[in-house]
Structure 1
Amino acid sequence: MTKQLTQAEIVRKSLKKRYRKEKRFRAYGILAIAIALSALLILFTDIIGKGYSGFMKTSLNLEVVLDGEVMYLDDPTDPRQVKMADFVEPLVQALMREIPNATDANREAVRKLINPYASADLRDALKENPEWLNTTRKMSFLAHSDVDVYSKHAGDKAYSIKLSPQQQEWVNMLKDKGVIETSFNDVFFKGGDSRDPAKAGIMGAVVGSLLTMFVTLVLSFPIGVAAAIYLEEFAPKNRLTDFIEVNINNLAAVPSIIFGLLGLAVFINLFGMPRSVPVVGGMVLTLMTLPTIIISSRAAIKSVPPSIREAAEGIGASKMQVVLHHVLPLAMPGMLTGSIIGMAQALGETAPLLLIGMVAFIVDVPGGFFDSATVLPVQVFLWAGSPELAFIERASAAIMVLLSFLIGMNALAIWLRKRLERRW
């Protein structure tokens, strides 16, 4: 009896020890998840905290007297007169009328509150509406980037305020009068890159990313699926195919910058293709994405039960018919999921595109696959390295847009997997 009680105590102690280990293991897992979520929360908080103001713009609402004598302009439709005309002076005069204590002595300080591109906007407006000449119009222009920074980040030590105390006083007064106001930054979503932060936009980078991703998808998906089908269904099992499989797995772990060097050496130096164009960027990203698509497609093909193949062969289907009519449709959801994840990875790549010249300063929105372009990650890289602190919020806002694309693509992959997957 005593011996039995002793063995029971031993078992009880062993169970207690095992339960403690399980609790510790569970606690370690919860701690790891908590650390990861905390890091993610800090990252998103920092990005959103710096980037939300990038979706806002600061504008000047002015009553502009479009006096032809002041602008030295008689005919807004005459290119020669437009080229020689002064479109800055009407803006300066309009702003000085809103500032009671502004004099000719501080005219230059007033002018620095106006965005450098405002005169170009006034010129374009007059060219489109010649009848406006010698009239007074209520017009809205972008404020100077220093005014934009002050309006959004006054008191924030992370941003240096470049306005003088007098200019800050003017800005506060103009905000109270409604001359300066903050609104949704449609310029950020309409234009391309610019030297002026207030005028900088992401449309050029977004279009460049879409064109590059289209080339990547058109090339990588059919090639990757065809390679996976051949290796899994038709290739003989020998040393050569084993060598190919091992190298495909190794290529999936190769740093992306290596593919950039390969694209630079082959597509640009050897074939003489142009730099900084979406078609070359798409081809480079295709090389990088192919291993991921091949591996995921092979895994999807392997997941199709052998009974499907045996049943098709039993009714007289050829090997090609078995693959095309039965295996491929059932494996397609997994292939699509792997391809979308590979495309999402390619969308966030910067290093290979830097090497093929897609780091160029691109102002115009690309209109085709052979137009000079950049992509969102490279645009973020350029703005993050700019000496202008106003580009910090633009870079953070662009990161938020890029993350939205990536989250959307991953959500689409999850939805397709849940929607189309078959359970055996």
Structure 2
Amino acid sequence: MELVFRAPRAITDAGTGPYSVGVGDGRIVAVEPGLSLDGDRVVELGEDVVLMPGLVDTHVHVNDPGRSEWEGFETATRAAAAGGITSIVDMPLNSVPPTVDPAALEVKRRAARGRVHVDVGFWGGAVPGNGAELAPLHEQGVFGFKCFLLHSGVDEFPPLDDAELEADLRILADLGALMIVHAEDAATIESAPRPHGARYEGFLASRPREAENRAIARVIELARRTGARVHVLHLSSSDALPMIARARADGVALTAETCPHYLSFAAEEIRDGATEFKCCPPIRESGNRELLWQGLADGVIDCVVSDHSPCTPELKRFDSGDFGAAWGGIAGLQVGLPAVWTGASRRGHALEDVVRWMARRPAELAGLTRKGRIAVGCDADFCVFAPDEAFVVDVAKLRHRNPVSAYHGSSLRGVVRQTWLRGREVSGDDPRGELMRRGQW
């Protein structure tokens, strides 16, 4: 074997404990109990670290090309690798052009080619009038399709109404493709108070739980009617958990995710003017946060992904602290693992749970059969994680493009020591990531 990891503790498909993991030609070729396996090169890991599968983040806004001053493929994937993430799937909006037809997908791939430090795939977009483009995009290897049910924040990616959503779901049901949905109800938000000023309570009132609940109920009904696979993005309203559980029990092909910021922060703790915490849907109250943790424990929420949505500092309107005017999005790609592990360990969850939520299940969602697990035949993607080492987040040391993050100053537990992609350690200097297509990974 070209490379062997000897890990006193590894989280593998075969179990957790001392394992030797052998690598050949970028794939895992052996997973053996004990520390005796030999190879051309041997990496001896210490007792203070855990060998985990590389994480998979299926919700990343790279914004490149078109808004690369917000983020870019080089900086986003460098931050991902620093956070133990070895595969990301890029969202179809905030870049220009949005990924709503094969020509735009090729523009995106050209922008990424040769510049990525981890493996990168792409979601397609479902917008009014592009129903005829869904099958060609699917054929070109996107991992599924994203839609909004209200204004997306950028005019070039408009929302679907109910009739358009149903029509697109019927197309995707025939293709066997996945629709991922930003589920907030436009009418509910239109009737809510308008966000303005520096008070977080005002912004929270402008995006009420009922907006999520109504949209998710509608998505469930349309999924039931069409037989399509649907996925609820960035769930923040715990009220929706019972209806998601019931729909699954009824056989609806429904999955859901939440994000580290919904599990880490609480509305009561957000100070006035702290627009780095603005995101949509919003961070809600501490009681809601605990119910999201319970939804993960119960399996109603499938996975935890970043929804990394960065911007330039001026778009956060730190000059005024106005939540109504600031861009909504949290930059947290690099710190998602320690943020989730900090919260999970406090609540009695094991590191194996975090691996399931942040590696195996996101890989399954996207159909990445070679990712998210330490098992023979999988890509040799690893995160070497020191779970007991503490640190304080310094935004100046994060590797995404702009020094803005809600996590700045947070005391977290767990440090990523190394990230390996297909058997090679990621240095951040030599981009060796590949562009992934559905069905080939």
As a proportion of its length, which structure holds more strand?
A: 2
TM bin, normalised by shorter chain, reads under 0.3
TM-score between both structures, scaled by the size of structure 2? 0.25
TM-score by length of 1: 0.25
More helix by share: 1
Q: Which has the larger radius of gyration?
A: 1
Higher relative contact order (CA 8 A, sep 6+): 2
